[in-house]
Structures are given as structure tokens and as C-alpha cells.
Structure 1
């Protein structure tokens, strides 16, 4: 199942710069300085994307990252502004644990995860990132964890609310019941 969305970008996407790095390379002619930018975009409903761009200037790096993030949006299932289920993932050095939370709890996760979940429209969740302090690795780990989310299926009740002479009736036995018979067990 591919859950990336490459539809038109006419709707408003919120953009946030997560990280800007100044990278210096030693050459025989001197230092060669470039910039890298990590950017997250999202519509606040259920789509989010990240991009890493490099350039000679900061705006150039940010634009490259934004273009990549907009082209690679991820559709995330959201249940009551929370996650549908718990996710645990190991990505490189980072171990990510994301859990759904009740309404009104808020986002109780680290800074990078908070920004990504907020852009995705998830406002109630808790989580932890262990093993890595690298923001780039943590960002990609959160995205990989969000890719594992599946929509919550409606519950299939085993018992019907109908009562036949004081006993609950199982769904599987409804066709076998005679009128007025009592179900035991």
C-alpha cells in the first residue's frame, strides 16, 4: 500500500523549518561553505511530508527541501485527532514509540515529533525517541513510524443487544434459533 499523495497543491500547506546547518568542506582553495535545511509541511488534516535540501545559500536550501516535501506527502490515518494505535520502530540509532492519547491530552513528545504530528493534524499523542539526538535521523524515524499506522477498523460485536428470554444471543446462533427457544452457554 503506497500512502504518498501527489495530487495538486492548490490547498494551503503549512511549512516549518526544523533545522538549518552550515556545512564547511576543506579544499585546497579554502573552505567551501554550503547550507542544508530540513523542512516539514502539512495540511493539518492528515497529510505531512519532510524534505532535506542543500544549497549555497539558506533560501535555496529551504526551497529545495520544500519542493521535495510537497512532492512526497504522506497520508496518515487520524482517529479523533489522535493516532489509531501504538507504534514502535527502530530506525538507525533511534527507537521511536508513539502512543494514542485521550482527547484533551495534547502532544507529549519531543520537539521534532511534536512539529510533525501537529502538521499532520494529530493533537493528542504521547511518545518518546530514545537512542539518537540527531534531528535528521529522528525526523526520518518519526515519518517511518507514521508509515506503519493503519486505520482503525470498526469493532465487530460478538454479542447482539437483543435478548431472547433473558439470555444474550450470539451472532453466529441467530439463524439456528427457533422462536421462543432459550440459548444457554
Structure 2
């Protein structure tokens, strides 16, 4: 019998219990060694999934707005009267708008103007340009109040304005609009006529404030 045949017979013969136990111990030790290696090896982090897509990146990478920034207006404005005028012609009726506007810088300059046009935006532009042409500069004291009482009349409207320290602006109708846009504070006003025409009242207020140029400025102590 050759050596090769003997080896094949030995492999077919069942091994003893001791030999089998030794082989089991060897395999267990190998497994434990592998577990140690796995513990010592750094764990690779799990890939993070962004469920929200690229929203955060899009927020940071937004394109700059192409719209030019609006320049701050030199004057504040407020419309006090809007009238729609109808004119009957051979072809039918034609409508136009008449707008009365007050503008001011709240630093002592104020003006009133009227604009007439077939479209409202054009009428507003005309009223603004007319108000700029008629602007006046008011003499105020260090508390942005007037130095002395004034009273003026324009058409059928009559307005009286008096200093009122510590009371703010006590006024109504178009008088208040003119005083606020002119930057006048701590005054009291009264409409002495029955006229409800806001344009005439505003012009009477402007006329009264113009009288402050004739008086002297009185500086008040804090």
C-alpha cells in the first residue's frame, strides 16, 4: 500500500475527541483575534443623506437681484385731494384727474402743488413738480416749533397756528399734513372758517407759515 492511499484512509477514519477539541479551540481563537482587529480598526461613519435636497446650498448660492435699489426720495409726499373731472365733447365723455399734493423734507421745507392729466401717475408727477417749485423754508426754533402765533387766509379758508410746548401737533385736516411734512412740532392750530376745501386749507397753512420769516427766532432753553 502506497503512502498516498494511507493518507486517504486516515482522512476517512474518524478522529479522536481530543484532536477534534484542539481544532475547535484553534478556530475559536482565530475568531477572537478577528474580533479584536475589528474593534481596533476605526469605524467608518455612515453616509449622511440630505433629505431636503440642495435647499441649504441654494439659499447660500442665490443670485444677486438684478433690480436696481430704489434711491431714497428727497421729499416725503402725501395726496390731500383727488378729483375726477368729466368733460363732454362731440365724441363722448373725456375723463381727467386733478390731484393736490403736499411734499416736504420734515426739516423746515414744504410745498403744495396741483397736477392735472388724463392718467393718475402723470397727474401725480405734475403735482410733485408743481409742489417743488412752490416750496418755502420755515424758520423754526430749537424744538422745531414756531416762534409766535400766526394767522392767514386763502380764498375762503382761514387758519390760525399757535405754539403749544409739550403738546405735540394739535391739528386736523390738511393743516396737520402740512405741519407734519414741514417738520413742525408742538403747535396747536384751528380752522376759523367753514370751508372744507383741503387745497385752500393747505395753502392757507403755507401762507401762515410764511409769516414766520417776518418774526425773529426765539431760542428756548432746555
The bucket for the TM-score relative to the shorter chain is 0.7 to 0.9
- Asked if structure 2 preserves the Cα contact closer than 8 Å seen for 1:78 and 1:121, the reply is no
Q: CA deviation at 1:46?
A: 0.6
- Per the alignment, residue 147 of structure 1 pairs with 210
**Correspondent of 1:78 among 132, 140, 153:** 140
More helix by share: 2
The answer to whether the 8 Å contact 1:89/1:96 transfers is yes
Between Structure 1 and Structure 2, which shows a larger proportion of strand residues?
1
TM-score, structure 1 as length reference? 0.73
Match of residue 158 from structure 1? none
In terms of Rg, which structure is larger? 2
Matched, 1:39 2:62: no
**Please, which of 91, 107, 128 is the counterpart of residue 190 of structure 2?**
128
For 1:10-159, list aligned pairs within 5 A.
12-79=74-141, 80-103=143-166, 105-129=167-191, 130-150=193-213, 151-153=215-217
**Secondary structure of 2:201's match?**
helix
Check the 8 A contact 2:147/2:218 in 1, yes or no.
no
Q: Which runs of 5+ in 2 are unaligned?
A: 1-71
CA RMSD of aligned residues (A): 1.8
Give the TM-score taking structure 2 as reference length: 0.61
Unaligned runs of 5+ in 1: 1-9, 156-185
Moved beyond 4 Å, runs of 4+: none
Determine if contact 2:173/2:198 at 8 Å carries over to the other structure.
no
Name the CA distance, whole Å, in 2 between partners of 1:56 and 1:44: 31
